[in-house]
Amino acid sequence: MSKIKPTSTHDENKRLLEAECPEIYASNLINGQWTVAICCYLGAGKMRFAALKKKLPAITDRMLTLELRKMEEKGLISRTIFAEVPVRVEYELTPIGHELTPVIQQLEIWGKKHKALFDKQ
Amino acid sequence: MSKIKPTSTHDENKRLLEAECPEIYASNLINGQWTVAICCYLGAGKMRFAALKKKLPAITDRMLTLELRKMEEKGLISRTIFAEVPVRVEYELTPIGHELTPVIQQLEIWGKKHKALFDKQ
DNA sequence: TATGGAGCTAACAAAAGTGTAAGTATGAGC
DNA sequence: GCTCATACTTACACTTTTGTTAGCTCCATA
Residues B100 and B98: their CA atoms lie apart, in Å, by 5
Q: What is the pLDDT of residues A68-97, one digit of tens each?
A: 999 999 999 999 999 887 889 999 999 999
Q: How confident is the model at residue A5 (pLDDT cuts 50, 70, 90)?
A: very low
Residues B28 and A105: their CA atoms lie apart, in Å, by 15
In the DSSP assignment, the letter for residue B84 is -
Contact A23, B36 (CB under 8 A): yes
**What is the average pLDDT across A90-116?**
96
Residue A56 has pLDDT above 80, yes or no: yes
Question: Domain boundaries in chain B?
Answer: 34-120
Sign of CA dihedral A26, A41, B7, B73: negative
Q: Which residues fall inside 7 Å of strand D, measured at CB? A: A 1-5, 7-8, 10-11, 32-33, 58-63, 66-67, 85-87; B 9-10, 13-14, 48-50, 61-62, 65, 68-69, 79, 86-89
B27/A23 touch (CB, cutoff 8 Å), yes or no? no
Instruction: Tell me the CA distances in angstroms from B31 to A72, A96, B5, one per residue in order.
Output: 20, 21, 20
Q: From the CA of B57 to the C1' of C27: give the distance in Å.
A: 29
Closest approach of A14 to chain B, Cα-based (Å): 7
Q: What pLDDT was estimated at residue B8?
A: 66
Residues B77 and B92: their CA atoms lie apart, in Å, by 5
**Residues from chain A contacting residue B24 (CB–CB below 8 Å):** 36-37, 111
Residue B1 has pLDDT above 50, yes or no: no
**Residues from chain A contacting residue B36 (CB–CB below 8 Å):** 21, 23-24, 27
Residue B4 has pLDDT above 70, yes or no: no
Q: What pLDDT was estimated at residue A8?
A: 60
Residue A24 has pLDDT above 60, yes or no: yes
Residues A105 and B7: their CA atoms lie apart, in Å, by 32
3-state helix, strand, coil in chain A (%, to 5): 60, 10, 25
Task: Judge if the upstream peptide bond of residue A86 is cis by omega within 30 degrees of 0.
Answer: yes
First to last CA, chain B: 38
Q: How confident is the model at residue B7 (pLDDT cuts 50, 70, 90)?
A: low
Contact A26, B107 (CB under 8 A): yes
Q: Which of A40, A67, A106, A113 should we substitute to test contact with B (largest number of B Cβ atoms within 10 Å)?
A: A106
β-partners of residue B80 are B90
Residue A7 has pLDDT above 60, yes or no: no
**CB proximity under 8 Å: B 57-86 to A:** 57-59, 75
Instruction: List the single range of A27-41, B4-18, B90-104 with lowest mean pLDDT.
Output: B4-18
Residues B64 and B4: their CA atoms lie apart, in Å, by 20
Query: Which CATH number does A34-120 carry?
Result: 1.10.10.10
Closest approach of A86 to chain B, Cα-based (Å): 30
**What is the average pLDDT across B19-43?**
95
B27/A75 touch (CB, cutoff 8 Å), yes or no? no
**Which positions ≥6 away from A79 have C-beta within 8 Å?**
A68, A72, A89, A90, A91
Report yes or no: A22 at the B interface, CB cutoff 8 Å: yes
Q: What is the pLDDT of residues B43-94, one digit of tens each?
A: 999 999 999 999 998 899 999 999 999 999 999 999 999 988 789 999 999 9
A17/B26 touch (CB, cutoff 8 Å), yes or no? no
